[in-house]
Amino acid sequence: MARGLWDSILGNNLPQGRPAPPPVPRHPHEGRPKWITVAAFPMVLGAFFQGATGMVTDLAAFGLIASGMWMTREGLIAQAAYEARRVAKRPAIPRKLFGGVMAGGGLGLAVAAPGMMPDAALVGAAGLALHVLAFGTDPMRDKGAAGVDEFQQGRAQRMIEEAEGYLRQTTDAIARAGDRRLEARVELFAAAVHHLFDRLRENPGGLSSARRYLGVYLMGVRDATVRFADLYARTQDQAVRAQYLAFLDELERDFLARADKLAEGDRAALDIEMSVLRERLAREGLTGAATALAPEDRPQLQSHEAQTLDQLLAMPFPGQKVPRE
Protein backbone atom coordinates (compact mmCIF):
# COMPACT_ATOMS: atom_id res chain seq x y z
CA MET A 1 0.00 0.00 0.00
CA ALA A 2 2.82 2.39 0.91
CA ARG A 3 4.71 1.39 -2.23
CA GLY A 4 1.65 2.14 -4.37
CA LEU A 5 1.43 5.65 -2.90
CA TRP A 6 5.07 6.44 -3.68
CA ASP A 7 4.73 4.87 -7.14
CA SER A 8 1.92 7.31 -7.92
CA ILE A 9 3.95 10.28 -6.66
CA LEU A 10 7.23 9.42 -8.38
CA GLY A 11 5.88 7.97 -11.59
CA ASN A 12 6.21 4.23 -10.84
CA ASN A 13 9.97 4.24 -11.36
CA LEU A 14 10.95 2.57 -8.10
CA PRO A 15 13.06 -0.59 -8.06
CA GLN A 16 11.37 -3.56 -6.45
CA GLY A 17 14.24 -4.13 -4.03
CA ARG A 18 14.02 -0.69 -2.49
CA PRO A 19 12.44 -0.57 0.99
CA ALA A 20 9.27 1.49 1.23
CA PRO A 21 9.09 4.31 3.79
CA PRO A 22 8.11 2.78 7.13
CA PRO A 23 4.80 3.94 8.60
CA VAL A 24 5.05 6.33 11.50
CA PRO A 25 4.48 4.22 14.65
CA ARG A 26 1.44 5.41 16.58
CA HIS A 27 0.02 4.13 19.83
CA PRO A 28 -3.75 3.49 19.74
CA HIS A 29 -4.21 5.50 22.97
CA GLU A 30 -2.07 8.45 21.94
CA GLY A 31 -5.08 10.81 21.77
CA ARG A 32 -6.45 10.06 25.24
CA PRO A 33 -4.18 12.41 27.25
CA LYS A 34 -5.45 15.40 25.25
CA TRP A 35 -9.05 14.77 26.29
CA ILE A 36 -8.10 14.33 29.95
CA THR A 37 -6.37 17.72 29.82
CA VAL A 38 -9.49 19.25 28.27
CA ALA A 39 -11.64 17.66 30.99
CA ALA A 40 -9.46 19.26 33.68
CA PHE A 41 -9.65 22.74 32.12
CA PRO A 42 -12.64 23.86 34.27
CA MET A 43 -10.15 24.04 37.16
CA VAL A 44 -8.59 27.04 35.40
CA LEU A 45 -11.95 28.79 34.97
CA GLY A 46 -13.00 28.16 38.56
CA ALA A 47 -9.67 29.30 39.96
CA PHE A 48 -10.40 32.97 39.23
CA PHE A 49 -13.58 32.94 41.32
CA GLN A 50 -11.80 31.95 44.54
CA GLY A 51 -9.44 33.52 47.00
CA ALA A 52 -5.69 33.63 46.48
CA THR A 53 -5.06 30.26 48.12
CA GLY A 54 -7.80 28.50 46.16
CA MET A 55 -6.71 30.09 42.88
CA VAL A 56 -3.08 29.00 43.30
CA THR A 57 -4.15 25.52 44.38
CA ASP A 58 -6.46 24.99 41.39
CA LEU A 59 -3.95 26.37 38.90
CA ALA A 60 -1.20 24.17 40.36
CA ALA A 61 -3.50 21.13 40.21
CA PHE A 62 -4.31 21.80 36.54
CA GLY A 63 -0.63 22.33 35.78
CA LEU A 64 0.25 18.98 37.33
CA ILE A 65 -2.50 17.17 35.43
CA ALA A 66 -1.61 18.83 32.10
CA SER A 67 2.10 18.13 32.59
CA GLY A 68 1.34 14.54 33.54
CA MET A 69 -0.76 14.05 30.42
CA TRP A 70 2.00 15.52 28.25
CA MET A 71 4.51 13.17 29.87
CA THR A 72 2.10 10.27 29.35
CA ARG A 73 1.73 11.09 25.65
CA GLU A 74 5.51 11.13 25.25
CA GLY A 75 5.61 7.73 26.95
CA LEU A 76 3.02 6.36 24.53
CA ILE A 77 5.06 7.64 21.57
CA ALA A 78 8.19 6.00 23.00
CA GLN A 79 6.31 2.74 23.55
CA ALA A 80 5.02 2.75 19.95
CA ALA A 81 8.58 3.18 18.66
CA TYR A 82 9.76 0.41 20.99
CA GLU A 83 7.09 -2.01 19.76
CA ALA A 84 7.74 -1.20 16.09
CA ARG A 85 11.37 -2.40 16.27
CA ARG A 86 12.60 -5.97 16.43
CA VAL A 87 15.56 -4.93 18.57
CA ALA A 88 15.04 -2.05 20.99
CA LYS A 89 16.21 -0.85 24.37
CA ARG A 90 13.71 0.06 27.03
CA PRO A 91 13.03 3.81 27.38
CA ALA A 92 15.61 5.46 29.58
CA ILE A 93 12.90 7.46 31.42
CA PRO A 94 9.61 5.79 32.49
CA ARG A 95 7.51 8.65 31.15
CA LYS A 96 4.12 7.02 31.69
CA LEU A 97 4.96 6.29 35.32
CA PHE A 98 6.03 9.89 35.93
CA GLY A 99 2.94 11.11 34.09
CA GLY A 100 0.69 8.98 36.29
CA VAL A 101 2.34 10.25 39.47
CA MET A 102 1.97 13.88 38.33
CA ALA A 103 -1.66 13.41 37.30
CA GLY A 104 -2.49 11.65 40.57
CA GLY A 105 -0.78 14.43 42.49
CA GLY A 106 -2.82 17.01 40.60
CA LEU A 107 -6.07 15.25 41.44
CA GLY A 108 -5.11 14.97 45.09
CA LEU A 109 -4.16 18.65 45.21
CA ALA A 110 -7.48 19.62 43.60
CA VAL A 111 -9.49 18.08 46.47
CA ALA A 112 -7.05 18.96 49.25
CA ALA A 113 -8.49 20.95 52.11
CA PRO A 114 -7.69 21.41 55.81
CA GLY A 115 -8.48 18.19 57.62
CA MET A 116 -8.93 16.21 54.38
CA MET A 117 -5.36 15.27 53.58
CA PRO A 118 -6.00 11.49 53.92
CA ASP A 119 -8.89 11.85 51.48
CA ALA A 120 -6.67 13.79 49.08
CA ALA A 121 -4.02 11.06 49.27
CA LEU A 122 -6.64 8.40 48.50
CA VAL A 123 -7.91 10.39 45.50
CA GLY A 124 -4.34 10.77 44.22
CA ALA A 125 -3.66 7.03 44.61
CA ALA A 126 -6.92 6.23 42.82
CA GLY A 127 -5.92 8.57 40.00
CA LEU A 128 -2.56 6.81 39.65
CA ALA A 129 -4.26 3.40 39.59
CA LEU A 130 -6.75 4.53 36.93
CA HIS A 131 -3.87 5.98 34.91
CA VAL A 132 -2.10 2.60 34.92
CA LEU A 133 -5.33 0.84 33.89
CA ALA A 134 -5.94 3.31 31.05
CA PHE A 135 -2.41 3.62 29.62
CA GLY A 136 -0.48 0.62 30.94
CA THR A 137 3.11 0.64 32.13
CA ASP A 138 6.36 1.55 30.41
CA PRO A 139 8.46 -1.17 28.75
CA MET A 140 10.87 -2.35 31.43
CA ARG A 141 13.06 -4.80 29.48
CA ASP A 142 15.20 -4.65 26.36
CA LYS A 143 13.68 -6.47 23.41
CA GLY A 144 15.55 -8.85 21.11
CA ALA A 145 18.90 -8.03 22.73
CA ALA A 146 19.83 -11.49 24.04
CA GLY A 147 23.49 -12.25 23.40
CA VAL A 148 24.24 -8.71 22.20
CA ASP A 149 27.10 -6.72 23.72
CA GLU A 150 25.44 -3.88 25.64
CA PHE A 151 28.44 -1.61 25.17
CA GLN A 152 28.40 -2.08 21.41
CA GLN A 153 24.63 -1.69 21.32
CA GLY A 154 24.85 1.57 23.27
CA ARG A 155 27.47 2.95 20.89
CA ALA A 156 25.39 1.97 17.88
CA GLN A 157 22.25 3.55 19.36
CA ARG A 158 24.04 6.85 20.02
CA MET A 159 25.36 6.93 16.46
CA ILE A 160 21.90 6.13 15.09
CA GLU A 161 20.29 8.94 17.10
CA GLU A 162 22.87 11.38 15.77
CA ALA A 163 22.27 10.15 12.22
CA GLU A 164 18.50 10.52 12.66
CA GLY A 165 19.12 14.17 13.50
CA TYR A 166 20.94 14.62 10.17
CA LEU A 167 18.02 12.97 8.38
CA ARG A 168 15.48 15.29 10.02
CA GLN A 169 17.55 18.31 8.99
CA THR A 170 17.69 16.97 5.44
CA THR A 171 13.91 16.53 5.33
CA ASP A 172 13.35 20.03 6.70
CA ALA A 173 15.76 21.48 4.14
CA ILE A 174 14.17 19.86 1.08
CA ALA A 175 10.76 21.25 2.11
CA ARG A 176 12.09 24.73 1.24
CA ALA A 177 12.36 23.70 -2.41
CA GLY A 178 8.57 23.57 -2.68
CA ASP A 179 8.52 20.36 -4.76
CA ARG A 180 6.38 17.48 -3.46
CA ARG A 181 8.16 14.92 -5.64
CA LEU A 182 11.53 15.93 -4.23
CA GLU A 183 10.19 15.60 -0.70
CA ALA A 184 8.87 12.10 -1.51
CA ARG A 185 12.24 11.16 -3.02
CA VAL A 186 14.08 12.25 0.12
CA GLU A 187 11.67 10.20 2.23
CA LEU A 188 12.50 7.14 0.12
CA PHE A 189 16.20 7.81 0.67
CA ALA A 190 15.48 8.07 4.39
CA ALA A 191 13.75 4.66 4.22
CA ALA A 192 16.96 3.15 2.85
CA VAL A 193 18.93 4.78 5.66
CA HIS A 194 16.49 3.41 8.25
CA HIS A 195 16.98 -0.02 6.69
CA LEU A 196 20.67 0.31 7.58
CA PHE A 197 19.70 1.48 11.08
CA ASP A 198 17.67 -1.70 11.59
CA ARG A 199 20.60 -3.86 10.54
CA LEU A 200 22.88 -2.04 12.97
CA ARG A 201 20.42 -2.49 15.83
CA GLU A 202 20.39 -6.22 15.13
CA ASN A 203 24.16 -6.41 14.63
CA PRO A 204 25.87 -3.54 16.50
CA GLY A 205 29.23 -5.20 15.87
CA GLY A 206 29.10 -3.84 12.31
CA LEU A 207 29.27 -0.24 13.53
CA SER A 208 32.94 0.17 12.62
CA SER A 209 32.26 -0.56 8.94
CA ALA A 210 29.14 1.66 8.83
CA ARG A 211 30.38 4.57 10.93
CA ARG A 212 31.13 6.84 7.96
CA TYR A 213 27.66 6.18 6.53
CA LEU A 214 26.03 7.42 9.73
CA GLY A 215 28.33 10.40 10.06
CA VAL A 216 30.24 11.80 7.11
CA TYR A 217 27.85 10.64 4.37
CA LEU A 218 24.66 11.86 6.04
CA MET A 219 26.27 15.17 6.94
CA GLY A 220 27.21 15.52 3.27
CA VAL A 221 23.65 14.75 2.20
CA ARG A 222 22.31 17.35 4.62
CA ASP A 223 24.72 20.07 3.41
CA ALA A 224 24.09 19.26 -0.26
CA THR A 225 20.33 19.31 0.28
CA VAL A 226 20.46 22.70 1.99
CA ARG A 227 22.42 24.20 -0.92
CA PHE A 228 20.23 22.53 -3.54
CA ALA A 229 16.96 23.61 -1.91
CA ASP A 230 18.04 27.24 -1.73
CA LEU A 231 19.25 27.21 -5.35
CA TYR A 232 16.27 25.33 -6.77
CA ALA A 233 13.74 27.52 -4.94
CA ARG A 234 15.23 30.57 -6.74
CA THR A 235 15.99 29.18 -10.20
CA GLN A 236 13.84 26.04 -10.74
CA ASP A 237 16.81 24.69 -12.74
CA GLN A 238 15.86 21.22 -14.02
CA ALA A 239 19.48 20.27 -14.71
CA VAL A 240 20.39 20.89 -11.08
CA ARG A 241 17.32 18.90 -10.04
CA ALA A 242 18.34 15.93 -12.17
CA GLN A 243 21.88 16.11 -10.78
CA TYR A 244 20.55 16.08 -7.22
CA LEU A 245 18.27 13.09 -7.90
CA ALA A 246 21.19 11.17 -9.43
CA PHE A 247 23.21 12.01 -6.31
CA LEU A 248 20.46 10.55 -4.11
CA ASP A 249 20.18 7.42 -6.29
CA GLU A 250 23.90 6.72 -6.00
CA LEU A 251 23.99 7.22 -2.25
CA GLU A 252 20.88 5.13 -1.74
CA ARG A 253 22.49 2.20 -3.57
CA ASP A 254 25.52 2.53 -1.31
CA PHE A 255 23.40 2.49 1.86
CA LEU A 256 21.40 -0.53 0.70
CA ALA A 257 24.59 -2.37 -0.28
CA ARG A 258 26.09 -1.72 3.16
CA ALA A 259 22.91 -3.01 4.84
CA ASP A 260 23.06 -6.15 2.68
CA LYS A 261 26.70 -6.71 3.64
CA LEU A 262 25.77 -6.55 7.31
CA ALA A 263 23.04 -9.13 6.69
CA GLU A 264 25.49 -11.36 4.81
CA GLY A 265 27.91 -11.10 7.73
CA ASP A 266 25.14 -12.27 10.07
CA ARG A 267 24.40 -15.25 7.79
CA ALA A 268 28.09 -16.18 7.57
CA ALA A 269 28.43 -16.06 11.36
CA LEU A 270 25.31 -18.22 11.69
CA ASP A 271 26.68 -20.77 9.21
CA ILE A 272 29.96 -20.99 11.13
CA GLU A 273 28.21 -21.48 14.47
CA MET A 274 25.89 -24.14 13.00
CA SER A 275 28.74 -26.04 11.36
CA VAL A 276 30.80 -26.02 14.58
CA LEU A 277 27.83 -27.20 16.62
CA ARG A 278 26.92 -29.86 14.05
CA GLU A 279 30.47 -31.24 14.08
CA ARG A 280 30.56 -31.29 17.87
CA LEU A 281 27.21 -33.10 18.09
CA ALA A 282 28.36 -35.56 15.47
CA ARG A 283 31.48 -36.41 17.45
CA GLU A 284 29.34 -37.00 20.53
CA GLY A 285 26.97 -39.22 18.59
CA LEU A 286 23.91 -37.08 19.37
CA THR A 287 22.73 -36.54 15.78
CA GLY A 288 22.40 -38.52 12.62
CA ALA A 289 25.50 -36.78 11.39
CA ALA A 290 27.54 -39.20 13.51
CA THR A 291 27.18 -41.79 10.77
CA ALA A 292 29.31 -39.60 8.53
CA LEU A 293 32.33 -40.18 10.80
CA ALA A 294 34.78 -42.98 10.35
CA PRO A 295 34.18 -45.98 12.70
CA GLU A 296 37.37 -45.31 14.63
CA ASP A 297 36.31 -41.66 15.20
CA ARG A 298 32.83 -42.51 16.50
CA PRO A 299 32.30 -42.28 20.29
CA GLN A 300 32.58 -45.58 22.12
CA LEU A 301 30.75 -46.78 25.20
CA GLN A 302 32.69 -46.00 28.35
CA SER A 303 31.51 -49.21 30.04
CA HIS A 304 31.28 -52.67 28.48
CA GLU A 305 29.50 -54.24 31.42
CA ALA A 306 26.04 -53.67 29.93
CA GLN A 307 25.54 -53.41 26.20
CA THR A 308 21.78 -54.06 26.14
CA LEU A 309 18.76 -53.00 28.20
CA ASP A 310 18.20 -56.54 29.50
CA GLN A 311 21.77 -56.75 30.74
CA LEU A 312 21.43 -53.31 32.35
CA LEU A 313 18.27 -54.35 34.24
CA ALA A 314 19.92 -57.58 35.35
CA MET A 315 22.85 -55.76 36.91
CA PRO A 316 22.66 -55.57 40.77
CA PHE A 317 22.47 -52.22 42.50
CA PRO A 318 25.43 -51.19 44.68
CA GLY A 319 25.16 -53.02 48.02
CA GLN A 320 22.48 -55.41 46.76
CA LYS A 321 23.01 -59.08 47.67
CA VAL A 322 22.88 -61.44 44.75
CA PRO A 323 20.96 -64.65 45.60
CA ARG A 324 22.84 -67.85 45.14
CA GLU A 325 21.48 -70.35 42.71
Q: What is the pLDDT of residues 59-105, one digit of tens each?
A: 999 999 999 999 999 999 888 888 877 777 788 889 999 999 999 99
Distance of CA 306 to the CA centre of its chain: 57
pLDDT tops 60 at residue 12: no
Mean pLDDT, rounded, for 211-222: 88
175 vs 244: CA distance, rounded Å: 14
Give tens-digit pLDDT for 91-146: 888 999 999 999 999 999 988 888 888 899 999 999 999 999 999 888 888 776 56
Q: What's the pLDDT at 305?
A: 47
Residue with more model confidence, 263 or 313: 263
Give the pLDDT confidence of 222-235 residue by residue, as tens digits: 999 999 988 888 88
Task: Give the separation between CA 293 and CA 272, rounded to whole angstroms.
Answer: 19
* pLDDT value at residue 20: 56
- The answer for residues whose C-beta is within 8 angstroms of residue 202's C-beta and 6 or more apart is 86, 87, 144, 266
Contact 214, 162 (CB under 8 A): yes
pLDDT tens, residue by residue, 175-208:
888 888 988 899 888 888 888 888 888 777 777 7
255-295 pLDDT, tens per residue?
888 888 876 655 655 656 676 677 777 766 665 544 455 55
Q: Which residues of 21-43 are buried (b: 16+ CB within 10 A; e: fewer)?
A: beeeeebeebebbeebbeebeeb
Q: Which long-range contacts (CB under 8 A, 24 or more apart) does 109-113 make?
A: 109/57, 109/60, 109/61, 109/64, 110/43, 110/57, 110/58, 110/61, 112/57
Whose CA is closest to 130, among 90, 152, 101? 101
Average pLDDT score, the chain = 78
Supply the pLDDT for residue 2: 44
Question: What pLDDT, on the 0 to 100 scale, is given for residue 7?
Answer: 47
